[in-house]
Amino acid sequence: MEKQERFARGAGILLPIFSLPSKFGIGAFDSAAYNFVDFLKMSGQKYWQILPLNPTGFADSPYQSSCAFAGNPYFLDISKILPHDTAHHLETEFSEHIDYFELFQNRAKILRQNFSGIPQEIKNEYSTFCKENEFWLEDYSLFMAIKERNNYKPWLEWEYEDLKRHDEEAIKEFLSENRDEIEFWKYVQYLFFSQWHSLKSYANENGITVIGDLPIYVSLDSSDVWANRQLFLLNEEGYPLEVAGVPPDSFSNDGQLWGNPIYDWNEMKKDGYMWWKRRLQLSSVLYDAVRIDHFIGFVNYYSIPYGAHDAKNGEWKRGPGKHLIDSWRDIGNIKIIAEDLGNVTDEVGELMKDAGFPGMKILQFAFTSGYDNRHLPHNFEENSVIYGGTHDNQTLLGYFSVCDNRELEFACDYFNIENKSPAAISEEIIRAGLESRADIAIFSLQDYLGLDDSARINTPSVLEGNWRWRVSEKLLTQELSDKIRERCVKYGR
């Protein structure tokens, strides 16, 4: 693969779409999103990092989606779709936490009630969209229509065995009898992509590079697995032979049991990893750059027997490595950031270096060992992306409020500060990240706001209460914007 050019030096803010202060119970592609782009520009930011745009699945997670290619219908600006009176009636008082159950119960129902076919004025554009995305859109819309008919049960629990097996004759019969329902799901995706492209274009016009997020694995209960069973390690009934996760570490005694099915890399290799190439190609349309989650899994992945209750008894296996990365040579113009956290072998490092992919440095991890810790600012290489913490971590204030006293002492000694308050250390962490040699410095909006763990996005291995936090528009002040911009100017960001 041709070596990737480095990113321009700059700063960015991590804020998921769902965390925006929109009017309809969850962040969306509405005026609040455009206002946030304006906030980023005023704050001297060059990057906006988001989380996966895919529909949420098990435990409301965007990393357990019904489709690795589809967009989340909850993000639609429904004021542009529904009649004014209907949309106005759906507006809610701002809540800091998303009610996913309410969205699941009502959003698709409301959209369907107002769907009466494809509007004449966009039929040509809609037709082009369907043709360009046929390789995933046909299976996804069919999958969702069948899933709804089965009360949204996982596909392995569907009533009819022939539909579970993706039997060709059964599929044809269902298609002929449910064309309107299938058309509805396609139309929702057309609306999603249209609205997202408008927002992304606005961001680009204002000098903001959008960094997306690509989960390495897909959900078992997805159109990807249902329609492409040969690409995954499954038994004859469709259940996984083994599942993904990570082994026990200092953060978890049981490890993390993600439960995603493992790819059959040998099968994928036969057509040159076409499924992955198509996924990266779509990402090049959706984003300017993409962070690939758990990048190390392409070299070595942790395999856990299906049915295990924890991740203790898994084993490391070889991934496709360079063969897969080389297959991306003709992918569209998109830059890649590799999440190189966890079991980072020399082979992972060499693969990233040869491809030119920057890795990640996490300042929350910097004070757990000595001065050779790769997450300490003086050890950063320029071709890297520095974070205070990721969406899976505590906020800076939350972390330094409860961390080991030795870490606290180390951080204060390293930064030569006498004030051991978590707030003071958090401020110093942000300053050090912006000052560092790393090409990109990204901090969560919560850390710029100095919020505690009540604003945390996700706690790994905890099934409830995640992916819910939203920011109040009242917090996005001119004072905050000026403060962030001043720091970025000072450190050449």
Return the active site residues.
293, 339, 392
Q: What is the DSSP string of 192-250?
A: HHHHHHHHHHHHHHTT-EEEEEE-SS--SSSHHHHH-GGGB-B-TTS-BSEEEEE--BT
Task: Compute the residue count for the chain.
Answer: 493
Q: Residues 23, 195, 107, CA angle at the centre, nearest 5°?
A: 50
Say if residues 61 and 466 touch (Cβ distance below 8 Å). yes
**Distance in Å from the first CA to the final CA of the chain:** 29
Say if residues 74 and 18 touch (Cβ distance below 8 Å). yes
Q: Tokens at residue 133, please?
A: 């995305």
Say if residues 16 and 457 touch (Cβ distance below 8 Å). yes
Adjacent-strand bridge partners of 257: 245
DSSP letter at 56 equals P
Rounded Cα distance, 432 and 386, in Å: 10
Rounded Cα distance, 408 and 420, in Å: 7
Nearest one of 185, 110, 114, 111 to 147, comparing CA atoms? 185
* Residues 6+ positions from 250 with CB-CB distance below 8 Å: 368
Say if residues 342 and 296 touch (Cβ distance below 8 Å). yes
Please report, for residues 74, 76, 195, 382, 470, the alpha-carbon distance to residue 192 in angstroms, rounded to integers and kept in the order given: 9, 6, 5, 36, 21
User: What pairing do the DSSP bridges indicate for beta strands 47-49 and 10-14?
Assistant: parallel
DSSP letter at 263 equals B
* Residues 6+ positions from 370 with CB-CB distance below 8 Å: none
The four Cα atoms 195, 196, 197, 198 give a dihedral, to 10 degrees, of 50
Q: What's the burial of 412, exposed, middle or buried (CB within 10 Å: 0-12/13-18/19+)? A: middle
Which H helix or E strand runs over 448?
helix 445-449
Residue holding tokens 């699941």?
104
Rounded Cα distance, 330 and 346, in Å: 26
Q: Tokens at residue 234, please?
A: 């499954």
Q: Tokens at residue 361, please?
A: 């440095």
Say if residues 422 and 476 touch (Cβ distance below 8 Å). no
